[in-house]
A and B are shown apart, each in its own frame.
Chain A
C-alpha cells in the first residue's frame, strides 16, 4: 500500500520553478489580472473575517454564563430587535458587494473581450480521453500533449489563441500560472488566450472529470523564445524521418493495429483516434505527460499502456520481445 516513502515528499516544497502550478505565481496577463483581483478579494474577506470573528469571540467571552454571579439564576434582559442596527448591517454589506462587483466586472470584460492582435498564433485544442491534441491550422502542424507557443513580449504581444473542443467527454484546459481554466466541451467551441511572459515549461492538467484516467491527463506548455519557436516549427513541418536502419520496426508498426489509431505523416499510418506520432521522439514525455520518454518507458508502454495509465484507451499490444524492440527502435527515430 505504501509504495512510496511517506516523508520523502515533504522536502519537495516547490513554491516556484518548473514543478509549480500555483495560481499565486502568475506568468501571463490573464493570470496576473486574476492574481491582483484575488488580492483585493482576499483583503476584503480577510477584513470581514477579523471584524465579525473578533466580535463573535468577544461576545462568547464577555457574555458567558458564570455560576458565581449574584444574579446567575435570573434571565438576562430580553431584546427583540432594533431597526436602526439591522438597517446598518444590511446597507454596509450591500456597499461592499457593489464595490466588489464592479472590480470583478472590469476584469471579466478585460479578459473575455480583449481584442485579438493580428500577430496572435492560432492553435486548435481537442480534448480526448485521456490526452490532448494540438493542431496549428495555419502552420500545418499536429502534435499531442506538449504545446509549444512563443513567449509574448508586452511591447510586441504575440498571444496564443486557443480554439477548443472535445472529441468525447468534457475536459478542462488549465495552466494555473498562465490563465484560468476553460472547459473543453464536445459539440461546443470555446476560446481562450495565453501569453507567457518568460520562456520555460508551464505545467497543468485536465481539470474536469473526463473518465477513468482523468488524473493522468497532464498538460505541458513550452514557452519558446522566437528563435526556438521558429526552429521548432521548421522541424515539426518536416515529414517523418525514414531511417532504413529500422525498416523492420516500421514494418511491424504498419502491420499491426497501431496504424488504426496513430498517424505518422508520409506513411500508411493515418489513424486519428490516438496521438499523432510523426515527431514522437521530439517530445519529452509519453502517456500525456505522465512518463519521461525513454526507450525503456516507451517499450513498456507499447507492451501494456495500463501499467502507466490504467484505464487508458490504448489496448495492450502484447507483441513478442523481438517485435517490441523493433517497434521501439522505430518510434525512437521519429524525431
Chain B
C-alpha cells in the first residue's frame, strides 16, 4: 500500500507581472531540472525546424535529375549540416530534455543530483550548436574557402585534412562536436548519479520506472562512446594545427583509424538515441492499454543487453572497407545478435497490448506508428547485417532509408508521442487532440511516401550524398515520390508547432493526472512546483498511483 496521497499545492495566482529581463535572468541562471529540461527541448525544436528545412532543400534538388536548384557545394553543406544537427543538436538534446524533466519527478526527487553541472552541460551543448551554425559566417577564414562544413556528418579522413578542407569549416565542425560531447557526458553523469542516489524511500532498483532504467543504460553507453569521439576530435585538431599525422594519409596517416574511432561512437549512438524512445514507449503503451508492462525484468535485461552488444557491432558500418573475412564474419554475428533483445522488447510491448483496453489518443497513435515502423526498421537492419548484402546496399539510398526509418519512423514518432503525453504535465494544458490526429495522419502519410519509396533507388544502385543523378537510371520516379512526402511532413510539423503554441494559451486545463496514469510525476500539480513534491513520497511498487487508486488490489502483491 502506498502511504503518500497526491500532494496538492497552491501556487500564488496573483504574483505581479515581472519584467522581461527578470524572466530572462531567471531562465539563464536557473539550475532547476524542469527549466533546464524545457530549455533543452526548446533549443532542440528550433534546430529540428532548421535541419528539417535543410532536408526539404535537398529533396527539392533531388526531385528531378540534373536539377540546378542548388550548387554541389551548397548541397554538400546541406547534407553535412542536416546530419550533424539532427544527431548532435536535435536528437540528443530533445531526449536529454525529457530525461531532465522526467527523471527526478518519476523517482520522487526534488532535482537532479548535480543541478549546477546540469546547467553547465546544457549551456556548453547549446554553445556547440551555435558554433556549428556560426560557421556559415565565420568559417571562410583567410582562404575564402567553403563556409559551412561539407565533409558529411562522419567527416571521414582525409576529407578533413587541411589540404582537402582549407578554411575553417572543419574546425567549426570539430569544435561543435567536442563541446556537444562535453555537455553530453555531463548530463549522462548526472542521470546515472540521480538514478542511483536520489530515489525516494521504497523505490528499489527493481521498482524504478523503466524510463529511468533505460535512461541510465543510455547514459552508461554515453560514457563509453563519447570518449573516443572526443579523442578523435582532438587528434583531428592536432593534425590540422600542430602537424601530427593521425589521419593525414598524405603523410602516412590512416583513414581507417578515423572510421574506427567514429563508428565505435557512431553505432552505439543509435542506441543512445533509441533507448529513450523505448523508454517513452515503456511508459506510454501501458497507460493507454490500461495494463502493467509485460515482463518488466526482461525489459530491463534486454535494455542492458542491447547496451553491451551495441558496443561490439561498430564495424558493420565498415563492411566495404576491405576487412578480412574473419572480421566481417565476427561483426555479422554481433550485429545479428542484437536483434534478439530488440525482438524481446517488441514482443513484450505486443503482450502489454494483448488483453488490454487500448485508447487511441494522439499519443498512443504515434506510439503504435512507432511499433510498426520500428519493426520494419529492425528487419531492414537485419538485411544490412548480412555483410554480402551490405556490400551492395552500403552507401546507397537503401541505407539512408533504413536509418531514417529508425530515426524518424521510430525515434521521432516516439518523441511526438511523448509530447502529447507529457505536454499537459509540463504546461498545465492539454494539447488539442483534434490537431494531434491531423498531425499524426499527415505525418504518417508523408513519412511513408518519403521513406518507404527511398529504399527502391538504393536497390537500383543510387548512392547517397550525390547532388544530382543521371536521367537514364530509372531513379527519377522514386525520387519524385520521396520528395513529395517531404511536403506532407513539413506541413504536419508546422501544425504540431502551432498546436503547442495554441494549446499553451487556449488548451483545456490538464489537472495533475489527465491520463489516469501510474507513475509519480502524475501525483504532483501540472506544471509541478519548483520543489516537485512538498513531501517526499514513499512507494511500495512499480506503479505507486495504481496502488493508490486500487487499494484492494495493489501491485505490490504481485511483484
CA distance A3 to B471 in the complex (A): 13
List residues of chain A with CB within 8 A of the CB of B471. 4, 9, 12
CA distance A212 to B297 in the complex (A): 51
| Binary contact track A195-218/B, C-beta < 8 Å → 1, others 0 | 000000001111111111111101
List residues of chain B with CB within 8 A of the CB of A41. 382-383, 386, 389
Q: Is B320 a contact of A181 with CB atoms below 8 Å?
A: yes
Q: A180-B391, A183-B320 in contact; A81/B295 too (CB < 8 A)?
A: yes
Among A13, A24, A59, point to the contact of B350 (Cβ < 8 A).
Answer: A59
Q: Is A104 a contact of B387 with CB atoms below 8 Å?
A: yes
Give B61's nearest chain A residue, CB to CB: A1
Q: Is B529 an interface residue (CB 8 A)?
A: no
List residues of chain B with CB within 8 A of the CB of A19. 470, 472-474
Instruction: From B34-42, B267-275, B336-344, give the one contacting chain A.
Output: B336-344
Q: Is A81 a contact of B354 with CB atoms below 8 Å?
A: no
CA distance A34 to B69 in the complex (A): 37
Q: Is B506 an interface residue (CB 8 A)?
A: no
Q: Is B376 an interface residue (CB 8 A)?
A: yes
Q: Is B66 a contact of A81 with CB atoms below 8 Å?
A: no
Among B69, B321, B353, point to the contact of A60 (Cβ < 8 A).
Answer: B353
Q: Is B255 a contact of A185 with CB atoms below 8 Å?
A: yes
Q: A52-B375, A63-B289 in contact; A187/B249 too (CB < 8 A)?
A: yes
List residues of chain B with CB within 8 A of the CB of A206. 463
CA distance A24 to B104 in the complex (A): 52
Instruction: From A85-93, A234-242, A265-273, A275-283, give the one contacting chain B.
Output: A85-93
CA distance A18 to B474 in the complex (A): 11
List residues of chain B with CB within 8 A of the CB of A86. 295, 298, 344, 347-348
Q: Is B394 a contact of A216 with CB atoms below 8 Å?
A: no
How many residues of chain B have a CB within 8 Å of chain A?
Answer: 106
A89 CB → nearest B CB, Å = 4
Give A66's nearest chain B residue, CB to CB: B357
Q: Is B465 a contact of A209 with CB atoms below 8 Å?
A: yes
B371 CB → nearest A CB, Å = 6
Q: Is B140 an interface residue (CB 8 A)?
A: no
CA distance A233 to B371 in the complex (A): 58
Q: Is B16 an interface residue (CB 8 A)?
A: no
Q: Is A45 a contact of B372 with CB atoms below 8 Å?
A: no
CA distance A211 to B159 in the complex (A): 7
List residues of chain A with CB within 8 A of the CB of B465. 209, 214-215
Within 8 A of B (CB), among A231-266: none
Q: A12-B474, A48-B379, A181-B391 in contact; A80/B558 too (CB < 8 A)?
A: yes
Q: Is A319 an interface residue (CB 8 A)?
A: no
Q: A12-B471, A59-B350, A191-B322 in contact; A215/B466 too (CB < 8 A)?
A: yes
Q: A168-B164, A176-B461, A181-B395 in contact; A59/B322 too (CB < 8 A)?
A: no
Within 8 A of A (CB), among B291-349: 291-292, 294-298, 320-322, 324-325, 328-329, 332-333, 336-337, 339-340, 343-344, 346-348
Within 8 A of B (CB), among A32-56: 33-34, 37-38, 41-42, 44-45, 48-49, 52-53, 55-56
Q: Is A34 a contact of B357 with CB atoms below 8 Å?
A: no
Q: Is B343 a contact of A93 with CB atoms below 8 Å?
A: yes
Among A23, A65, A81, A107, point to the contact of B297 (Cβ < 8 A).
Answer: A81
A63-B356, A207-B394 known; 5 new pairs, CB 8 Å cut-off, are A23-B460, A78-B555, A90-B343, A100-B382, A104-B388
Q: Can you sample 14 A-B contacts with CB below 8 Å?
A: A12-B474, A56-B375, A59-B350, A72-B357, A76-B289, A80-B294, A81-B298, A85-B351, A90-B340, A170-B159, A191-B322, A209-B76, A212-B76, A216-B468
